[in-house]
Amino acid sequence: MQLDADVIIIGGGPAGSTAATFLARAGHRVLLLEKDRFPRFHVGESLLPYNRPLFEEMGVWPALAEAGFPRKTGAQFHLASGKKVTRFAFSNGVFTRHTEAIQVERARFDQILLEHARASGAEVREGWSVRGFETSTGGVSVQAQSPNGEVRSFNAAHLIDASGRANLTGNQQGLRSVHPDHRKMAVFAHFDGVARSAGEAGGDTVIVRDARHWFWLIPVSEERTSVGLVLDPADYTAHGRDAGAVFQRAVAASPLMQERLAKAARVGELKATSDFSYFNRRLADPRVLRVGDAAGFMDPIFSAGVYLAMWTGRLAADAAASALRAGHDGERTYRAYDRRVRRAMQVYWRLVGHFYTQPFMELFLEPRNGLQVPAAVVAVLAGDLEPSWSIRWRLECFYLLVRVQKRWPLVPRITFAPPSLAT
């Protein structure tokens, strides 16, 4: 097989750019095929503090610092009524090694990352849409359509699928398994003039929780804020699948959201997307690795998607580099990658699963400092995907307290108004 590259990467989002950067900097020939032309809009704007060492290792931090993205030092969780709030400051977590993140407009952020991959030596082709792939004993072949419609094949020793929720290789092989309890919709837009907290907390991600849905507010520049509503598809359908109507109704039911949006003006249309959590049953096969959302996608409540994408991009680059050095199909290394990523994702899936239960929210909104349990939760929220034992046992304590709270209230119960989107 005549090889066009050592590694082909499908997709130039954060996962693909990260994998491309690490591989190219290690001296490997990388061909990255991206179907869109950048800059392009993308949802997912709140990052985690643990992204920072990755940016530095990739050498892209100076470009990101120069872009002047807002600083994020914490996250706030509010009840929609405005009656209860808690703020997690990353600097308060004694187990948290990195305490500051950035909030980004993804069009600019993704372009900086992709340009950095290109400058690091990867060949990046925009406007090329991959249609399918095949593996053989000698390598991998992908079929891609060029910007002028011609279809051609590219060959490489290894393939990294970073196609995001398009999930190209996972769908082609029927690997996608959707989480039964996390089938959501999201409706979102950018707004100017959204009210923010004073001082440093003005850069926080703000989560506003109602009975069956929740909002995010993410400051993406001095003036602009991303606002989104995550809800059940049934509630969306019950409002005639009218994004404007469902968004207005949810805002009208929340005194806190009304206050925040009182002087806000929407910039552009409201967008709607499905927000189904899923996992591919295999994250790797011989010669093929899946990274970021093409490995699995999780409800965005804790803003972990971009970090997971970059973390898996980095691990996949290491795994592919080691297979290339050894001159084999990577099977053993790739299985280890699969296990490690699955374990890390489980940490978040468990936390996300609990977020939708009332006892969890009751304790989450009233953190008590005994045994430093909140600090352990903060470390995971900051991006500690492979928590040490001292964090893990505290998390177990937290889940135990959630079970106790369900039957015997340790902190006051919260009451939501009747579901505001129910018809």
Ligand X SMILES: Cc1cc2nc3c(=O)[nH]c(=O)nc-3n(C[C@H](O)[C@H](O)[C@H](O)COP(=O)(O)OP(=O)(O)OC[C@H]3O[C@@H](n4cnc5c(N)ncnc54)[C@H](O)[C@@H]3O)c2cc1C
Shortest CB 4 distance to ligand X, Å:
15
Which residues pair with residue 46 across a beta bridge?
Answer: 103
CB-based contacts of 253, cutoff 8 Å, min separation 6: 80, 210, 417, 420, 421
Torsion of CA 283, 289, 292, 298, to 10 degrees: -10
Contact with ligand X (CB under 6 A) among 273, 346, 388, 390:
273
CB nearer to ligand X: pick between 130 and 140: 130
Could you say which residues in the range 200-229 bind ligand X, by CB under 6 A?
Answer: 228
Q: What phi and psi values does residue 137 have, to the nearest 5 degrees?
A: -65, -30
Binding window for ligand X (CB under 6 A); candidates: 300-308, 335-343, 377-385, 411-419 = 300-308
CB nearer to ligand X: pick between 189 and 365: 189
Contact with ligand X (CB under 6 A) among 3, 4, 39, 43:
43
Count of CB atoms within 10 A of residue 305's CB? 25
By the rule CB under 6 A, 10 interacts with ligand X: yes
By the rule CB under 6 A, 12 interacts with ligand X: yes
CB nearer to ligand X: pick between 93 and 305: 305
Contact with ligand X (CB under 6 A) among 124, 250, 306, 379:
306
Contact with ligand X (CB under 6 A) among 157, 186, 344, 365:
186
Count of CB atoms within 10 A of residue 403's CB? 11
**What number of chain residues touch ligand X (CB under 6 A)?**
39
Shortest CB 14 distance to ligand X, Å:
4
Tokens of 90: 């990353």
Shortest CB 122 distance to ligand X, Å:
14
Interface mask (CB under 6 A) for ligand X, residues 130-169, using x and -?
A: x-------------------------------xxxxx-x-
Shortest CB 75 distance to ligand X, Å:
10
Runs of H (alpha helix) within 68-105: none
CB nearer to ligand X: pick between 275 and 285: 275
Nearest Cα to 133, choosing from 96, 177, 167?
A: 167
203, with CB counted inside 10 A (0-12, 13-18, 19+), is: buried
Shortest CB 129 distance to ligand X, Å:
5
Q: What phi and psi values does residue 316 have, to the nearest 5 degrees?
A: -65, -40
Does residue 31 sit in helix, strand or coil? strand
Shortest CB 18 distance to ligand X, Å:
8
CB nearer to ligand X: pick between 363 and 378: 378
Nearest Cα to 43, choosing from 184, 169, 171, 186?
A: 186
CB 170 within 8 A of CB 294: yes
Shortest CB 93 distance to ligand X, Å:
18
Contact with ligand X (CB under 6 A) among 19, 23, 28, 34:
34
By the rule CB under 6 A, 64 interacts with ligand X: no
Report the C-alpha gap between 332 and 131 in whole angstroms.
Answer: 28
Shortest CB 266 distance to ligand X, Å:
17
By the rule CB under 6 A, 15 interacts with ligand X: yes
Contact with ligand X (CB under 6 A) among 49, 139, 170, 305:
305
Residue labelled with tokens 């999780």: 298
What's the chain's length in residues?
423
Nearest Cα to 356, choosing from 402, 391, 292, 297?
A: 402
Tokens of 231: 């809800």
Name the site residues for ligand X (rule: CB under 6 A): 10-16, 33-36, 42-47, 129-130, 162-166, 168, 186, 228, 273, 275, 292-294, 300, 303-307, 309
